[in-house]
């Protein structure tokens, strides 16, 4: 399924041609946001900002990247919305000036005390330029009474609540912070000998795939509640916790990064994403096996919804064979890589056409077969239903849907862009799987159990993590503001 998440962040410190390196890093994080991109480079004490709508490769021409230059830089990819163009004012990185000098910031996540903070600052006479939570960090820092800039940032982080993986660039240092719950990922890389005079440079990114693309070596994750300061001479690290919020639940890293968000070639929360996804598929096969076929019948074909469900499907297939349920792994849809944002909205009489242009069913693979189609999740259910229809039209005998995560029943307030609770497919049917299968018009529908999900994710990634599963359970590890919260998010 196609979710929308808010942003990827990337930054480099002490790296020759910092803007170029950041460009490649952002290309690696493009899947975390396609609405727009921004980059702030630092050349001595001059900060240069370039932002624009669209893909990284469209926003930045070679001339742009050359003229950004720099030895330090931070970048941000912004998630995609269906509606009209958002004004550039709300695009990150933010780059402002305050009494200590320049301050550039990129943020992935959502603050859960944003309304409260915004009200506080407005009463102080503060002007705001956007409805983006991330702007609040800037005010928290500039209004801190501490005298050192590091302390000001530390001060700010203890007052922020919710999900935040943040990269900051000042005139003096580079800083990476992850909230105490560690909702969103953030990792550190080293660029050996790529800094001034052959020193090592550093980079920080939402996912390790961005490190790969700039040939940085993965060092480790920024830990939940950790703040790392890198300057010309030292790398310092410290931990912080929320001023008001007791850390009741331990960490709560977003399990949906494993299910759907992260790029399969990334290591997230310290573990390879493909490894976890394959395991989710295996677990799913154990919970919801391939239907048995009769003697002489064609073997069932196991197909993914491309691309996100591919690895879970491979695991599902592998486990199925191991379980003595012979079946074939194949691709049942051709996904047209050229169908993107600028595809013309089909006219009324040709509706469903965008789905068809994007996912054309492969008759040869499907005809007369029992088809088990694996997806990572279902949000609204409308696309799923269209795809099922296409499978039958292509000659499928039966269609069985398998989902490698539990039903999504509740919205995310920590940085993932789900629709409202009312629009969520699983919520509409209150978990009545039979009814859901009926609406989708499938022969069977199977979701991974919450226990199975956590167990599989823990099994493949070791035991040191605790995950946020709020979207499956409605239990939110950090309290959500009662009102206005979603509105502010919708303003984005």
| 350 sits near a copy of itself (criterion: CB under 8 A) | yes
Considering the complex, what minimum distance in angstroms separates the CB of residue 365 from a copy of itself? 6
Structure tokens at 492: 């984005």
Structure tokens at 485: 């919260």
Give residues with Cβ within 8 angstroms of 262, minimum separation 6.
185, 207, 268, 273
Task: Figure out which of the listed residues 301, 356, 408, 426 binds a copy of itself, where binding follows CB under 8 A.
Answer: 356
* Residue 58 marked in a binding site: no
| 480 sits near a copy of itself (criterion: CB under 8 A) | no
Exposed/middle/buried for 105, CB within 10 Å: 0-12, 13-18, 19+?
buried
Considering the complex, what minimum distance in angstroms separates the CB of residue 83 from a copy of itself? 13
| 104 sits near a copy of itself (criterion: CB under 8 A) | no
- What one-character DSSP code corresponds to residue 260? I
Pick between residue 47 and residue 472 the one whose CB is nearest to a copy of itself: 47
| 395 sits near a copy of itself (criterion: CB under 8 A) | no
Give residues with Cβ within 8 angstroms of 444, minimum separation 6.
288, 291, 400, 401, 437
Considering the complex, what minimum distance in angstroms separates the CB of residue 105 from a copy of itself? 11
Exposed/middle/buried for 487, CB within 10 Å: 0-12, 13-18, 19+?
exposed
* Residue 214 marked in a binding site: no
Chain residues 106-135 in contact with a copy of itself, contact rule CB under 8 A: 122-123, 125-129
Tell me the C-alpha to C-alpha distance, in Å, between residue 18 and each of 66, 102, 187, 490: 10, 17, 18, 33
Chain residues 61-90 in contact with a copy of itself, contact rule CB under 8 A: 61-62, 65, 87-89
- What one-character DSSP code corresponds to residue 85? P
Task: Figure out which of the listed residues 245, 293, 362, 437 binds a copy of itself, where binding follows CB under 8 A.
Answer: 362
Question: What is the x/- site pattern for a copy of itself, positions 4-43, by CB under 8 A?
Answer: -------------x--x--xx--xx-xx--x---------
Question: What is the x/- site pattern for a copy of itself, positions 158-197, by CB under 8 A?
Answer: ----------------------------------------
7 flagged as catalytic? yes
Pick between residue 272 and residue 439 the one whose CB is nearest to a copy of itself: 272
Considering the complex, what minimum distance in angstroms separates the CB of residue 283 from a copy of itself? 18
CB atoms within 10 A of CB 382: 12
| 491 sits near a copy of itself (criterion: CB under 8 A) | no
230 phi-psi bin (left φ>0, alpha ψ -120 to 50, beta other):
beta
Chain residues 219-258 in contact with a copy of itself, contact rule CB under 8 A: none
Please, what's the b/e burial string for 361-377 (b: 16 or more CB within 10 A of its CB; e: otherwise)?
beeebbeebbbbbbbbb
CB atoms within 10 A of CB 230: 21
* Residue 357 marked in a binding site: no
């Amino acid at each position: 399924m196609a979710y929308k998440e808010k942003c990827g962040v990337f930054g480099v410190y002490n790296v020759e041609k910092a803007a170029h390196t950041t460009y490649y890093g952002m290309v690696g994080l493009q899947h975390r946001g396609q609405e727009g991109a921004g980059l702030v480079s630092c050349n001595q004490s001059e900060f240069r900002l370039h932002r624009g709508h669209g893909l990284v490769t469209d926003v930045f021409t070679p001339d742009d990247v050359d003229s950004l230059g720099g030895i330090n830089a931070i970048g941000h990819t912004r998630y995609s919305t269906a509606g009209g163009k958002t004004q550039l004012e709300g695009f990150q990185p933010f780059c402002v000036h305050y009494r200590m000098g320049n301050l550039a910031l990129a943020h992935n996540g959502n603050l859960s005390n944003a309304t409260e903070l915004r009200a506080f600052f407005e009463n102080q006479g503060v002007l705001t330029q956007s409805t983006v939570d991330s702007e609040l960090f800037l005010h928290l820092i500039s209004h801190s009474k501490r005298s050192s800039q590091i302390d000001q940032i530390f001060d700010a982080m203890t007052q922020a609540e919710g999900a935040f993986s943040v990269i900051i660039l000042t005139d003096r240092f580079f800083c990476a912070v992850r909230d105490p719950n560690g909702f969103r990922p953030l990792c550190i890389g080293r660029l050996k000998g790529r800094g001034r005079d052959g020193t090592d440079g550093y980079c920080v990114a939402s996912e390790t795939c961005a490190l790969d693309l700039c040939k940085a070596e993965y060092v480790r994750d920024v830990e939940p509640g950790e703040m790392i300061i890198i300057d010309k001479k030292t790398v310092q690290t410290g931990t912080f916790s929320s001023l008001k919020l007791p850390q009741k639940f331990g960490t709560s890293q977003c399990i949906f990064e494993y299910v759907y968000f992260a790029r399969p070639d990334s290591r997230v929360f310290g573990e390879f994403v493909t490894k976890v996804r394959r395991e989710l598929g295996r677990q799913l096969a154990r919970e919801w096996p391939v239907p048995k076929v009769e003697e002489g019948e064609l073997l069932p074909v196991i197909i993914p919804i491309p691309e996100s469900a591919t690895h879970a499907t491979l695991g599902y297939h592998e486990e199925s064979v191991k379980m003595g349920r012979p079946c074939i792994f194949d691709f049942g849809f051709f996904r047209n890589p050229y169908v993107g944002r600028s595809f013309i909205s089909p006219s009324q009489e040709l509706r469903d056409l965008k789905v068809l242009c994007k996912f054309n069913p492969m008759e040869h693979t499907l005809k007369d077969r029992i088809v088990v189609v694996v997806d990572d999740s279902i949000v609204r259910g409308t696309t799923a239903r269209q795809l099922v229809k296409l499978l039958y039209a292509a000659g499928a005998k039966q269609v069985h849907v398998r989902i490698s995560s539990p039903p999504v029943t509740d919205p995310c307030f920590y940085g993932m862009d789900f629709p409202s609770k009312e629009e969520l497919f699983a919520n509409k049917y209150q978990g009545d799987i039979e009814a859901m299968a009926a609406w989708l018009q499938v022969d069977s529908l199977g979701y991974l159990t919450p226990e199975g999900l956590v167990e599989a994710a823990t099994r493949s990634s070791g035991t040191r993590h605790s995950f946020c599963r709020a979207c499956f359970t409605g239990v939110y590890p950090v309290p959500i503001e009662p009102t206005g919260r979603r509105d502010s998010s919708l303003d984005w």
